Structure formats: C-alpha cells, structure tokens
Amino acid sequence: MTGPSLAQVADDARRAFASTVDSSAADRARWLIAVADELDADASELIALAAEESHLGSSRLTGELARTTGQLRLFAHAIVEGSYLEATIDHPEPASTPPRPDLRRMLRPLGPVAVFSASNFPFAFSVAGGDTASALAAGCPVVVKGHSAHPRLSLRTAALVVRALDACGAPDGVFGHVAGRATGVALVRHPAIRAVGFTGSLHGGRALFDLAAGRPDPIPFYGELSAVNPVLITRAALDARAGELAAGLAASVTLGNGQFCTNPGVVFAPAGSGFAQLVAAAVGTPDPMPMLSEGIAAAYADRLAELAGHDGVSIVAGEVVQQPGAAAPVVASTTTSTVLADPSALLAECFGPAVLVVEYTSVGEALDAIRAIGGSLTATVHAEPGEELRDIVAVLGEVAGRVLFAGWPTGVAVSWAQQHGGPWPSTTSIHTSVGVTAIRRFLRPVAYQDAPEAVLPPELRESNPLGIPRRIDGVLTLP
C-alpha cells in the first residue's frame, strides 16, 4: 500500500476537526452534495470497477450507487433542517430550588471517526457510504479503512471524495483512506479516533469491538455484525398465498447471491405445508455465481456442510458441495424441535443464498425458536388480515430493529424512519446505521451555562438565526 501513513492520516483528521467542530451545517451540506455530484459524474467508471472487483452485477451496482449519493444528499438536507442538534434552551429560573441558571444544550461532533468498509456494499457501506456520510454530516472527520475485497474501487472512490471536498473548500484532512488489516487494528486504537463504524463479520467485529472497549479511553463502536432475519408465516397466510410467498422468499434469498445482511436466513412455516418444496421449486437450479471473495464463498460452503451434517436437517434443493469462489442456492428444512434442541448450531447466520425452512406445529414453539436466534436486523411476519398478532409482534419487536408485515427484508430504504440495527449480535441496539438518525452516533451533547450570547453557537442564540426547531423552556417549538 502506498499513500500516507495512518499516523499522518489520523493527525490530519485531528487537525481538520479543529475546523469541522464549528463548521456550519450549510457548509457541510455543500461538502456532502459535492461528493454526491462527483460520484454521480463518475458513475460508469466506478460501477465498472465495482463490478470487476465485487462480481455484483452492474444493474445492482447502479442502484447501489444511486442510493449512496441519495444518502449523501439526504444527510445534507437533514443537517440544514437542524432538528438533529436537539437544540434546547432553559431560561433561568432564579426562584426554583436550586436556582436554575440559563442552560442551552445542543449536540456537537464527537471527533474523528474510523469507518470500516463492508465487502458486500462496495458503495453504500464503504468509502462514501452511510457511516462516512453520517459522520461528515455530524461534523466529524472520517478515516476509512478500505475493504480488501475491492481495493482499487476504494482508492478510486477515496480520490474522488478528496477531489470533491478540496474543490468545495472543505478543510484538509477531513477525509482520509487507509488499507490493510493491521492498519485497521491500529486505527481503532489510535488516540485521535473518537468512534468507529463497522459493517462486517461477527468474528472480526467482535475483535474490533473489544479493542475499542479496551482502550484506556473506551470509544463507541457501532458494529453491524450478523443477522439471521427470521420470518414467520402463519397457516392462514400459507393457505391463502403459498406460491406467492415461495416466489417472494426465493427472490429475497437469492438477491445479490444472498450477500445481504438482511437476507432472510430462517423461515418458520406450518408443519406439513410442503413450503420448503415450494421454495425449492421457486429457487430452481441456477448456475453458481461468483461470491464477493474466495473467503466468503468458502465460509458459505463450510456453513452449509455444518448445517447439512446435522441430524434432522434435510437439503431440499441445491448442492452442499459448492464450487470454489462461487455459490448456488440451497434450501434446507428442519423442525422447531430440532432447532430448539441445538439452537446455536442451527440458527447461526449462513452468509450466502441459503435458507432454512423450519416447520412448526404451534406458533408458540416458533416464537421460542425465534427468541433462541437472538438479535437480528429484521424480523418478518406474513399473516392474513384480521389474525391476532399481539404475541408475534411482541417477540419480533424484542429480537429485531425492523419488523415487517409484508414483503421481504432485503432492500433497506434510506429515510427518516428507517431503523437498521437490533439487539446483539446484529448491532449494538440503541442506534441505527441507515437513515437520518444514524448521525446521532457521532454527536455528543454540550450544555452552555450562563453563556454570553456572542460565544454561543448560532443554533443556541436567542434569536434563532438559522431557524431550526428548538425546545424552549420545555416546549418544542418550530421556527
């Protein structure tokens, strides 16, 4: 790897923070939009490079790049709107016990942020992806650790980001790029870094989480690690539309060759319904497709062998033995009693185009198994109108950050109400990595007590010069 050292990049980020910490939302919005425009302008080159390195098709990559630049523009819009600052003013109340001073609170940027690119989203969760966009939007310089599965795309995207930021006058060092596993470890430990965004495996993520928590000054580690994304189909739904459900599931499981963190890995269907066979038929026997990397393909094959070797699991479609570097879909089936007897072996994530259909004899039993899976990004129920869903929704809401009542979990809209994050191990559970509120991860509150008007950030001045929503003496007020 050529390019500047980590020490240099981190030091530049620290210096840039001295400017970005007090930068205006309007300026940062310009930076984000400039990056989006630059990436859009270079779309064909970037998509070709991404297709070559990731083996994802160019139509998928075209959509992903559009989503990535849309994401940058959405954050630009959100920071100008200003609610994200949680600006709050309490005027003095000398008569209260104890006397209340003038207190004005808002969120401020945390400091330089380390962003780890994901293998499976070379645009949307990589160099200029959601973590980078939300950290820059917050006013935090970013140091990206590029992914080894798409090194040339990383370098090229980073160069375009730097060019766009330079051209619109963003501070030097506000964005940096490094590569290599050892550099990633050093990055998490670097004193200048104040938070980490990570999308990747449970194993790698846990190791970095432990480093972040083990620092002399622990820093937040926002990891998106592993999700099984359970689906529960009621008997009534299956009776009403088995074919449609099988087709929808097959499409979701095989989308992007199964390499989505929201891939529905375990589906609960009523016993004796023959749903696994319907899914097998819908999946068909497509040719193996290349995976993101040799390592990911090998892990898929290993996990399939583990699953197929388990008593009580049948392979309904596809081959357990896979071609090196590639993957073809597999449909397996088992029962809730088998699953509940050995949940950790049967319910672990299988990253690739595989689905385990679990036949249940009672909904309660299926919910016990869903609880045994633990935290997921999503949980889905397919039911018919009028069915009582209280118990089901309670469990799905307990294990996941997004609960779906129709459709399939792949495809994550970038919007204000999105939630991409659930209980461990899907993520740490109190924040999202997709959608506008992802920005909250990179902010910390500061209150100013009895401050002269002139030293206050504009967002907290009495006259509200930027016209943002604020809470004043306890009352939320719109500009």
DSSP 8-state symbol, 374: -
Sign of CA dihedral 422, 427, 433, 437: positive
Main-chain phi, psi angles of 393, to 5 degrees: -65, -35
List 381's β-bridge partners, or say none.
232
| Of 402, 397, 428, nearest in space to 417 by CA | 402
Nearer to a copy of itself among residue 341 and residue 446 (C-beta): 446
353 contributes a contact to a copy of itself by CB under 8 A: no
For helices 202-214 and 181-189, what crossing angle results, to 10°? 30
Instruction: Convert residues 233-272 into a mask of x (bound to a copy of itself by CB under 8 A) and - (unbound).
Output: ----------------------------------------
Query: Among 25-33, 129-137, 163-171, 437-445, which window interacts with a copy of itself (CB under 8 A)?
Result: 437-445
Query: Among 4-12, 112-120, 174-182, 205-213, which window interacts with a copy of itself (CB under 8 A)?
Result: 205-213
For 471, the token pair is: 């809470």
Give the interface size with a copy of itself as a residue count (CB under 8 A).
Answer: 85
469 contributes a contact to a copy of itself by CB under 8 A: yes
d(CA 373, CA 375): 7
Q: Are strands 314-317 and 330-335 parallel, antiparallel or unpaired?
A: antiparallel
d(CA 325, CA 37): 35
Nearer to a copy of itself among residue 100 and residue 241 (C-beta): 100
302 contributes a contact to a copy of itself by CB under 8 A: no
| Sole binder of a copy of itself in the list 45, 52, 210, 342 (CB under 8 A) | 210
Instruction: Convert residues 376-405 into a mask of x (bound to a copy of itself by CB under 8 A) and - (unbound).
Output: ---------x---xx--xx--xx-xxxxxx
- 261 in catalytic set: yes
Query: Among 37-45, 121-129, 284-292, 433-441, which window interacts with a copy of itself (CB under 8 A)?
Result: 433-441
| Of 408, 378, 432, 412, nearest in space to 226 by CA | 378
86 contributes a contact to a copy of itself by CB under 8 A: yes
Identity of the amino acid at 297: A
d(CA 333, CA 250): 14
Nearer to a copy of itself among residue 219 and residue 301 (C-beta): 219
Query: Among 164-172, 180-188, 208-216, 261-269, which window interacts with a copy of itself (CB under 8 A)?
Result: 208-216
57 contributes a contact to a copy of itself by CB under 8 A: no
d(CA 251, CA 243): 12
CB of 345 to a copy of itself, least distance (A): 16
For 142, the token pair is: 């970013």
Residues 6+ apart with CB under 8 A from 9: 143, 173, 176, 177, 178
Cα–Cα distances (Å) from 282 to 270, 275, 288, in that order, read 18, 10, 16
461 contributes a contact to a copy of itself by CB under 8 A: no
Query: Among 228-236, 291-299, 357-365, 471-479, which window interacts with a copy of itself (CB under 8 A)?
Result: 471-479
449 contributes a contact to a copy of itself by CB under 8 A: yes
For 370, the token pair is: 């869903």
CB of 395 to a copy of itself, least distance (A): 10
The residue with tokens 């939320």 is 476
Q: Annotated catalytic residue: which of 261, 350, 359, 365?
A: 261
Q: Annotated catalytic residue: which of 224, 349, 359, 459?
A: 224
CB of 366 to a copy of itself, least distance (A): 17
Q: Are strands 266-270 and 400-404 parallel, antiparallel or unpaired?
A: unpaired
- CA angle 120–275–310, rounded 5-degree value: 65
- 168 in catalytic set: no
| Sole binder of a copy of itself in the list 4, 37, 83, 240 (CB under 8 A) | 83
Considering only residues 62 through 81, tell me which ones interact with a copy of itself, judged by CB under 8 A.
63, 66-67, 77, 81
Q: Do residues 115 and 16 make contact, with C-beta atoms less than 8 angstroms apart?
A: no
137 contributes a contact to a copy of itself by CB under 8 A: no
Nearer to a copy of itself among residue 183 and residue 448 (C-beta): 448
d(CA 398, CA 376): 10
| Of 50, 140, 78, 110, nearest in space to 414 by CA | 78
CB of 467 to a copy of itself, least distance (A): 13
Considering only residues 104 through 123, tell me which ones interact with a copy of itself, judged by CB under 8 A.
104-105, 108, 110
| Sole binder of a copy of itself in the list 57, 204, 290, 423 (CB under 8 A) | 423
| Sole binder of a copy of itself in the list 96, 182, 311, 465 (CB under 8 A) | 96
CB of 475 to a copy of itself, least distance (A): 9
Helices (H) and strands (E) in the chain, counts: 15, 19
d(CA 187, CA 98): 45
103 contributes a contact to a copy of itself by CB under 8 A: yes
For 245, the token pair is: 């459900």
333 contributes a contact to a copy of itself by CB under 8 A: no
Nearer to a copy of itself among residue 149 and residue 228 (C-beta): 228
The residues carrying an active-site annotation are 224, 261
